Amino acid sequence: MFMLPAVTAAAFLVGAGTAWLARTYQYEMRAAAVRQLTGSRFVNVAETSIEYVQQGDKPPYVFVSHQAMGGYDQGQAIGRLYKGCSAIAPSRAGYLRTPLDAGCTPETMADTFAALLDYLNVPSVIMAGYSAGAMAALAFAMRYPERCRALVLGNGITRTPPPYVMDFLAPIALANRWDAHLVGLFVQP
pLDDT digits (tens, 9 = 90+) for 81-116: 888 999 999 988 888 888 888 888 899 999 999 999
pTM of the prediction? 0.71
CB atoms within 10 A of CB 162: 8
CB atoms within 10 A of CB 28: 10
Residue type, 44: N
DSSP 8-state code for residue 98: S
pLDDT digits (tens, 9 = 90+) for 64-88: 988 766 678 888 888 888 889 999 9
Rounded to whole angstroms, how far apart are CA atoms 18 and 11?
A: 10
